Chains A and B, each alone.
Chain A
Amino acid sequence: MFESLEGYIEPGSEEHDLVRRLDLARLPGHVAVIMDGNGRWAKKRGLSRIEGHRAGSDSVREIVETSARLGIKVLTLYAFSKENWKRPRREVSELWSLLRGYLKKDARVLMENDLRLLVIGQKEGIPHIVLKELERVERETAGNGRMTIVLALNYGGRSEIIDAVKRIVREKPVDLDTLTEESFSAHLYTASLPDPDLLIRTSGELRVSNFLLWQIAYAEMWMTPVLWPDFRKKHLLQALVEYQQRERRFGDIRPR
């Protein structure tokens, strides 16, 4: 079981210093991460891209653990976009194999730590052998309440919006006058989740890449040149400290 931060962060370390600067009562409720740079990380070391993804999964474990210990409620990870199908077929097949392996192995960790898994994206496009495992883990962890790990798979922000529109239109009598931002949000994949407060993107890219287009309307963005496999709790804490230093006004002139 991941306990609190005590014992997890070494006293006197850089991480410890960062935690001391954090106001644990004002943490973002929902952190979303664009995990970029696995391929570049591997290339720099002369490894195959899949080794980069393997190394990236260690970062996922550490960030999940740190977030859970901090008390963050929702962590969304952009794992596989609809555009990622354009990658070499071998990389795609190894990515799904890797994910399936982790689901089989690590589902226990989710149960032990009261973590819930939720998948967003177009499920129809996911290889069935992986989808079966995903749905099993989703089902088993459905009652867990400490933190929700949202995995964006075969996800595209625009197609999410299109899917929401389709769903609204298909629902019997459409009364367009009653359509509000809230009722529209309720038709997105993320219906049950709060909008992200903080969006992290690694590896120095300054793009949104079709991720949670609707939901990040007022998210604070934090970009870092660090490649995802090098991303550690230190970097997450840095992002959180900076997030707390920012004034979030949501269009108002006074901070809320």
Chain B
Amino acid sequence: MSLRKRTLTASVLLCGLFLVIQFASLLVFFLLLQAFILAALVEFYNLADRRQLLPQRALGATCALIIGASFYFPWLGFEKGLLICLLLTCTYFVVRISTLERLASLPQSIAVTFFGALYLSFTLNYLYRIRLEDGVFSIYFLFAVVFLGDSGAYFIGKPFGRKKMTPVASPNKTWEGSAGGILFACLGALAARKLLLPEIVLWKALLCGVLIHAAAQISDPFESLFKRAVGIKDSSSVLPGHGGFLDRIDSLILASPVFYYLVKALWK
């Protein structure tokens, strides 16, 4: 994919993202986030389908929304939300498994359905919680670190990368690129601090930058690992030059909750 196409898609996405984050009400932000999570979940299940893992889309989407709702409604809470999901999942399979052939696929079907909902909804809904409790500036900080870190790994790793880091998950990742990623993530943290959050002590901002980047760097190859397992490169081709939703947000999946707790522990 050409860099120009990549850049164009990225600019359009970033503009839309900025408008939503900056101006949408909390409810609209929450609803759009759920739509985004569902889109990513559908891609995840499409991947699983290639290996005949039999993801149950309706069940998974319902669980993802219940988990989301548990973030939005304090009276529901994550514990109750999780219990409802379990009850639903068990009931679903008890009712649905009517033949012995279906029984054989039960473990993988439960695993992939439930994991997908948890993996995407539980993690990404922390973005809502960050906006609710810490405000938009903190979200920009997270994005600056994650996206600059990703780009840094790409632009440094491409010309200078020699030593392979994760030969199976992401064969293109190198230690040199990773160092570039950390450097750019720190630059992102510094810039976001200067522009938006000058009250954060310098070392805390930098530490956050490094740790968010570390979480992002686990998040990203993990998603690739899953794609390799089913034998493709991009999760879909919805976004020209970027693959699918899942490819674009893979770094955020683990970075968002980690950032949320870093803010609570370090920044207060």
Residues of A in contact with B (beta carbons under 8 Å apart): 85, 88-94, 96-97, 124-129
The reply on B199 being an interface residue by CB < 8 A is yes
What is the number of contacts between chain A and chain B, taking CB atoms within 8 Å?
A: 48
Q: Report if B225 contacts A (CB, 8 A).
A: no
- Contacts A93-B138, A97-B22 given; does A129 touch B196 at CB 8 Å: yes
Taken together as a complex, chains A and B put the C-alpha atoms of A90 and B132 apart, in Å, by: 7
Known: A89-B267, A97-B22. A125 touches B199 (CB 8 A): yes
- B231 in the interface, Cβ–Cβ < 8 Å? no
Judging by beta carbons under 8 Å apart, are B195 and A94 in contact? no
A129-B195 contact, Cβ under 8 Å, with A89-B267, A97-B22: yes
Residue of A nearest to B130 (CB): A90
Give the size of the chain B interface in residues (CB under 8 angstroms).
Answer: 17
A125 to B194, CA, bound (A): 9
Query: Does the CB pair A126–B135 fall under 8 Å?
Result: no
Q: How far is the CA of A129 from the CA of B192 in the complex (A)?
A: 10
Most buried by B among A89, A90, A97, A126: A89
- Partner of A92 from the list B132, B135, B194, B195 (CB cut-off 8 Å) is B135
Name the residue on A nearest B133 (C-beta): A90
Q: Across the interface, do B135 and A128 meet the contact criterion of CB distance under 8 Å?
A: no
- A166 to chain B: closest CB distance in Å? 20
Asked if residues B134 and A89 are in contact (CB atoms below 8 Å), the reply is yes
Cβ A90 vs Cβ B134 within 8 A: yes
- Closest Cβ of chain A to B244, distance in Å, is 31
| A94 interface neighbour in B133, B135, B197, B198, Cβ under 8 Å | B135
27 contacts between A and B (CB under 8 A): A85-B199, A88-B135, A89-B134, A89-B138, A89-B263, A89-B267, A90-B131, A90-B132, A90-B133, A90-B134, A90-B135, A90-B138, A91-B135, A92-B135, A93-B134, A93-B136, A94-B136, A97-B136, A97-B137, A125-B198, A125-B199, A127-B137, A127-B196, A128-B195, A128-B196, A128-B198, A129-B196
Interface residues of B in 119-138 (CB under 8 A from A): 131-138
